[in-house]
Every structure is written in structure tokens, then in C-alpha cells.
Amino acid sequence: MAILKSSNPQAVAEARPAELDASKLVVTLAKTLKPLPVPESLVFGQTQTDHMLVMNHDPVHGWSAPEIKPYAPLSLDPMSSCLQYCPNVFEGMKAYLGPDGKARLFRPRKNMERLARSADRVALPPFNTDALLTLIERFIQIEKRWIPTKPGYSLYIRPTIIGTRAALGVAASDSACIFVIVTPAGPYFRGGTKPISLLAVSESVRSWPGGTGGHKLGLNYAPGFAPQRIAAKQGYDQILWLLGDDQRVTEVGAMNFFLVAQRDDGDLDIITPPLDGTILPGLTRDSTLTLANAHTSGKLLLPSIPASQKLHTHERVLTMSEITALSAQGKIIESFGVGTAVVVAPVGRIGHEGKDLILPVHEAGLGPVGKAMYTVITDIQTGRRQFENWSVLCE
């Protein structure tokens, strides 16, 4: 039997838990491929593709060789931490086809950084974010035929990390599984953008100071399902989550909230709540603020908004009473929610304390700023327009 000496560099390397290493990828392709669905028939998040990307961590060996293999159920010990204490985190991103037929990701490093922060928040083992991005790009190349070629369609990507420590003690999960699945997605609004209605809710809160609302943790979402059902019964599409005695607006369902108000000097104010830990730092939120500032500095001209009209961005507290007052003064131009799934969703009505606040109606659903953002962001995502290397080719 060989004795491992510490002077042997190979043995030293093997003794340490391994880093996540994309060059160790093992690809096993499915023997038969599934028929592609008719794009028009897609329901969000209900189509399984041919493959999945999986890698596991344990405290002794570190990260296993990543695998791309046929899509199949996972096998978990029933004591797994993820089934008990929810150390589960995820990301939402998309692959888009450009006019050249190439697959692209939108600011994917931001998703990887956010995933690493989420994992750290629930004490999951760290991973190399560059390696995971390289693996996701490889995975998208393999699943590329699932990206519908129709405009407005994309491949939704769901990187997920679950705690797999098989023990019931209430403690951090030192074992984990990263898996990435994809599903073809159609435009959020079929047959044209339609304003959504919101029920302002303060009895239940989505997030709170010192809580976890600023991270994409699975445990943030289930507590919203019962309030969402109540809102739906009252005829509202989504919840406008309020926080505190002053009824600060936080988010819309699982989207970031924006309000556009007319200023006396003819310019526009664009207001969104600040990243104080209760707000999920959305990529679409950041892109909206960056593009508005780029318009104002003259770096990029937003379509249909005059160059002379400046967009003043504000990341600050916005209360329901301020929104009600701005509405009464006729100063609200538009309000919208933003996120990867929808890009921009116009808000048409807010139910608050038994009354409905009606927001301005615009042709085609979106107001001037929302429409400009939708156009520019989707143009960058599909590679029709270049901006700051936001669009990354998957090859």
C-alpha cells in the first residue's frame, strides 16, 4: 500500500477539498432528445429540457467534477438540510438569441456575484463564480436548440444551490448541490402589454431590516403565497409590499418598483426604493437606473424621450402617502415593476385601504420611460445594441 508523503505535491493537492473546476466537466448526452414544444403553447417554467448541470460539495472532497447529464430527478437523503432548514438559494437569468442566431447572456457576472452572496447569507459553502459561469455557458451551448427563435422568447436559466448535509442538527450545511436547469420562456404579456393591478399590503411583510429580503433565498417566497392568493381573490394581479408605520413601498410581487413623476422644470423624476437590505438588488433595476443616467449624461439617447428632457434618478424612501399625494396633483407619469422574467410591467391600479388609486393609462400599456427601457434592455439582451459589454456571447 502506498504511503502518501506530504512532500508529494499531488498528495497535498488531494488532501485539500477541491475548488469548483470547470475543466473537470463530464458531459453525458441524452440518448434521445425530447420534441420541442410549440412556442405559443409554453407556460412559464413548466417545460423540462434534455439535460441539467450538476455538481456536489462535501467538506472532505470539496467540489466534485461538474456534470452535464440527462435531465432526471435528484436523489436526496431525507435528512438533507434543504428539506428541513431551507439553506436554498437561486438565481433567475436568461439566454437570448441574437439576429445572428448566437446565444447571449445579459450581465451574467452580476447573477453569479448575487448567487455567491445569497449562498454566504445562509452559510452554504463558497464556490468559484467564474467556474460556474463557464459551466453555464457550456450548458447553454448544449441546450441551445431549446431557445425559441421567435422574437420575445428566451431560455430561462435557474441556477440553484441546496444544502445537502444529511443530519437533523440545526447547523450550517457543509454539503451542497449546485444544479442548473433551463426552461424555454415566452413573453410575459401575450397579445400586448397590459397594465397590472396591485393590492398594497402591510399586514404581511416580505422583508424587514436585518432580514433576508435583499438576497435570493428560497425561504423569502413561500410566505408570500397566502397573501398573493388573498390579493387574487380580490381581483388584483400582484402585491405591493409595504413596510413600517409610514407604509414605505418596497417591491411589487417579485419585481422592483419604479415611479416616474413630472417635475416643474419639465424633466422627470425616476424614483425607486434604496438598497437598504429589504430590497432585492435586481439587475433590471440596476440597468434601468444606469440607462436613465446614461440618457441624462448624453451617453445613450433613450428612444422617444427628448435629449433635452433629463431623467433624475432617486434611490430613496417612497411612502404610500407620497404616491397618493403625487397622484392627486396629477404628477405621476407612470409606475412599473422590473425583473428578468417580465423586463418591465406597467402598473395601472393600486388598491390601498379600501380605495383604488388609478394611474395614467398609456397606449400600448407602457408609459414613455417604461417603453424606452423595455426597448433598449431587450435590444441589448439580443445583441441588437451594444452597451458596456452587458451582453455576453455563450461561445
Ligand X SMILES: *Cc1c(COP(=O)(O)O)cnc(C)c1O
Q: Which is nearer to ligand X, 247 or 340 (CB)?
A: 340
Is 280 a binding residue for ligand X by CB under 6 A? The answer is yes
Separation of alpha carbons 115 and 180, rounded Å: 12
Ranked by CB distance to ligand X, the top (closest) residue is 282
In this chain, which of 132, 199, 254, 289 binds ligand X, going by CB under 6 A? Answer: 254
Alpha helices in 175-236 (DSSP H): 225-233
Does position 88 bind ligand X by CB under 6 A? Answer: no
Q: Site for ligand X (CB under 6 A): which residue of 137, 174, 251, 269?
A: 251
Torsion angle (degrees, nearest 10) of CA 28, 138, 47, 221 = 120
What is the Cα–Cα distance from 207 to 209, expressed in whole angstroms? 7
Q: Which is nearer to ligand X, 81 or 284 (CB)?
A: 284
Q: How near is the Cβ of 277 to ligand X at its closest, in Å?
A: 13
Q: Which residues, 216 to 245, sit near ligand X by CB under 6 A?
A: 216
Does residue 284 interact with ligand X by CB under 6 A? yes
Interaction of residue 368 with ligand X, rule CB under 6 A: no
Burial class from Cβ neighbours inside 10 Å (0-12, 13-18, 19+) for residue 312 reads middle
Rounded-to-integer distance, Cα 247 and Cα 350, Å: 14
Residues 159/178, Cβ–Cβ less than 8 Å: yes
- Dihedral of alpha carbons 317, 320, 321, 323, sign: positive
Judged by CB under 6 A, the residue of 66, 184, 195, 282 near ligand X is 282
CA–CA separation, 145 vs 305, rounded Å? Answer: 37
Residues 118-157 that bind ligand X (CB under 6 A): none
What gap in Å lies between CA 66 and CA 92, rounded to an integer? Answer: 20
Q: Does 66 bind ligand X (CB under 6 A)?
A: no
Site string for ligand X, 338-367 (x = CB under 6 A): -xx---------------------------
Sole window of 118-126, 148-156, 281-289, 349-357 interacting with ligand X (rule: CB under 6 A): 281-289
Q: Shortest distance, CB of residue 99 to ligand X, whole angstroms?
A: 24
When binding is defined by CB under 6 A, the residue of 92, 98, 218, 360 that contacts ligand X is: 92
Count, residues in the chain? 395
- Torsion angle of C-alpha atoms 107, 338, 240, 267, degrees rounded to 10: 120
Q: Which is nearer to ligand X, 216 or 310 (CB)?
A: 216
CA 85/CA 166 separation, integer angstroms: 12
The span of 37-45, 191-199, 249-257, 365-373 binding ligand X (CB under 6 A) equals 249-257
Give SS3 for 306: coil
Residues binding ligand X (CB under 6 A): 92, 216, 251, 254-256, 280, 282-285, 339-340
